[in-house]
Amino acid sequence: MRQFLSVADVSDVSSIVQEALALKHAPHTHDKLGNHKTLGLLFFNASLRTRVSTQKAAQNLGMNVIVVNVGTESWKLEFGEGVVMEGDTVEHIKEGAAVLGQYCDILGVRAFAGLTDREMDYSENIMCKIIRYAGVPVLSLESATRHPLQSLTDLMTITELCQKPRPKVVLTWAPHPKALPQAVPNSFAEWMRCADVEFVITHPEGYELATEFAGDVPVLYNQDEALTGADFVYPKNWSSYRNYGAVLSQNRNWTLTAAKLLQTNAAKVLHCLPTRRNVEIADDVLDSPSSVVIQEAGNRVYAAQAVLKRMLETNF
């Protein structure tokens, strides 16, 4: 695998899930593979899990890791073409990415959607420019439209917990005070469509995901109907794609509560985290055995490790 930007970079989804699960049980079996190779992690946005789990995954493979937080501890980068740089950007991505490519063998990048210009975000402008100018393999740590390390972890966790063939998996919109990107639900949908699951999406009207991600997945506007018989529930907020970046609803009837889980098949609840307690998900879910969010976060290490292992094997 040369790069990891979406599920399309994985030739065999179920085998990388199995590889991640195997690494969980024997994380140090390839601890020489990454010797003398440097992973750079470039963050344009905050992170707890991705930052720490990807460092740990790289360390388990014997890699060196350098973390750079753009803007706060490196120069503010310019992405525009032909810009007269007399504003607050100090360095152009053409030099910035090319320089990082001199120091790093693989570059991880987190660059969220700006949520103002849909065309710009969905063209993956930042990620594409970094790939172009860095000249080294790139790993997405959440881009404008996708969060593939999270989705691989989600599928790994579902596989790990699954008691039956073809479980019912429900992605449900949940409220949030701020506009969030569509990256997590987009990516989750993309990966679930490649998995052997019955997949359903539920959200209020106006929160439809882009067709390239939702495909022909059934969409229900009635959350109770969608949750019926679910084996796994993934509550997550996202802002509107159609009315780009808008918060159309703050309706707390969509908060996932223990009462709502009664209509499921004793569903396990996943979430990428961070989550706003009692807005997206109620305490009585997060503090109950239904929640598997900590196990899921733990699995981020082994999903990242499976990806880095494949990238090291292909590129060096």
48 makes contact, choosing from ligand AN0, ligand CP, none, with CB < 5 to 8 Å by partner type, with ligand CP
Residue 276 sits at the vertex; the CA angle it makes with 270 and 277, to the nearest 5 degrees, is 80
Smallest CA-to-CA distance from 81 within 41, 139, 45, 128 is with 128
Smallest CA-to-CA distance from 49 within 151, 111, 127, 141 is with 141
| Site track for ligand CP across 135-174, x = CB under 6 A | -------x-------x------------------------
91: β partners = 77
183 makes contact, choosing from ligand AN0, ligand CP, none, with CB < 5 to 8 Å by partner type, with ligand AN0
Closer to ligand CP by Cβ: residue 51 or 193: 51
Handedness of CA 126, 128, 133, 134 (dihedral sign): positive
Please state, in angstroms and as integers, the Cα–Cα distance from residue 114 to each residue in 18, 42, 81, 189, following that order.
Answer: 35, 17, 18, 21
Which residues contribute to the site for ligand AN0 (CB under 6 A)? 142, 180-181, 183-184, 272, 274
Closer to ligand CP by Cβ: residue 48 or 266: 48
Residues written for the chain: 316
Of 47-55, 115-123, 167-175, 245-253, the segment contacting ligand CP by CB under 6 A is 47-55
Residue type, 106: I
CB of 49 to ligand AN0, least distance (A): 7
Q: How many CB atoms lie within 10 A of CB 101?
A: 17
67 scored as a contact of ligand CP (CB under 6 A): no
Which tokens hold the place of 273? 């985290």
| Buried/exposed code over 106-143 (b: 16+ C-beta within 10 A; e: otherwise) | bbbbbbbbebeebeebbebbbbebbbebbebbbbbbbb
Interatomic CA distance for residues 304 and 285, integer angstroms: 27
273 scored as a contact of ligand CP (CB under 6 A): yes
The binder of ligand CP chosen from 3, 41, 44, 47 (CB under 6 A): 47
Closer to ligand AN0 by Cβ: residue 46 or 266: 46
Closer to ligand AN0 by Cβ: residue 10 or 183: 183
Closer to ligand CP by Cβ: residue 67 or 258: 67
Closer to ligand CP by Cβ: residue 218 or 274: 274
Q: How does strand 77-78 pair with strand 91-92?
A: parallel
CB of 227 to ligand AN0, least distance (A): 21
Please state, in angstroms and as integers, the Cα–Cα distance from residue 298 to each residue in 68, 157, 169, 307, following that order.
Answer: 23, 10, 20, 16
Of 30-38, 49-57, 96-104, 187-195, the segment contacting ligand CP by CB under 6 A is 49-57
The binder of ligand CP chosen from 8, 48, 85, 259 (CB under 6 A): 48
Of 31-39, 220-228, 240-248, 268-276, the segment contacting ligand CP by CB under 6 A is 268-276
266 scored as a contact of ligand CP (CB under 6 A): no
For the chain, strand residue ranges (E) read 38-43, 64-69, 77-78, 91-92, 106-110, 138-140, 168-173, 198-202, 219-220, 232-236, 268-269
191-230 binders of ligand CP (CB under 6 A):
none
CB of 92 to ligand CP, least distance (A): 27
Closer to ligand CP by Cβ: residue 215 or 274: 274
186 scored as a contact of ligand CP (CB under 6 A): no
Closer to ligand AN0 by Cβ: residue 98 or 179: 179
**Residues that bind ligand CP in the complex, under the rule CB under 6 A:** 47-51, 142, 150, 272-274
